[in-house]
Amino acid sequence: MEPPASTVDMHATAGAALIGLEVTLLVYSINLGQLVVYLRHTRQDGVAFKTLIVILWLLDSVHLAFIVMGFWQYAITGHGRIHGLLRPTWPFIAQVYIVTVSNLIVHNLFAHRIWKLSGGRKLWPVVIVSRFRYKKVP
């Protein structure tokens, strides 16, 4: 049985989530501007590297879409259903996988850059990649 809606104050929680969503959208907009400037003005990076950057941006876009969908399900679709807040919705679960793939790409790009800067020594990428804490997603 659900507790009465009057005993739970959701205004502060929903307001904080909405502010967080707005800040996320602002940072995403800045990120999109940086992507456009990078693609237009950077000539020294190869096509493969630029493709990975675009893939990272696409993953970031999907991640943001899942955040908005999850917020919509909690704030609009599930408004007033307190027990609905106890279980994560599928967009929040799916975004974990998107972030994991994105982090894997970023960490490997970072290790590759360090390897190039170290003159091609094989030990550095192994050390760097071994320091990443890859965890199995539940």
pLDDT of residue 88: 82
What is the pLDDT, as a whole number, of residue 24?
92
For residue 77, the model assigns a pLDDT of 79
By the 10 Å C-beta count (0-12 exposed, 13-18 middle, 19+ buried), 127 is classed as exposed
pLDDT in tens, 14-64: 778 889 999 999 999 999 999 999 999 988 988 998 999 999 999 999 999
Give percent of the chain above pLDDT 90. 35
Per-residue pLDDT at 74: 80
pTM tops 0.85, yes or no:
no
Packing angle of the helix pair 123-131, 90-117 (nearest 10 deg)? 160
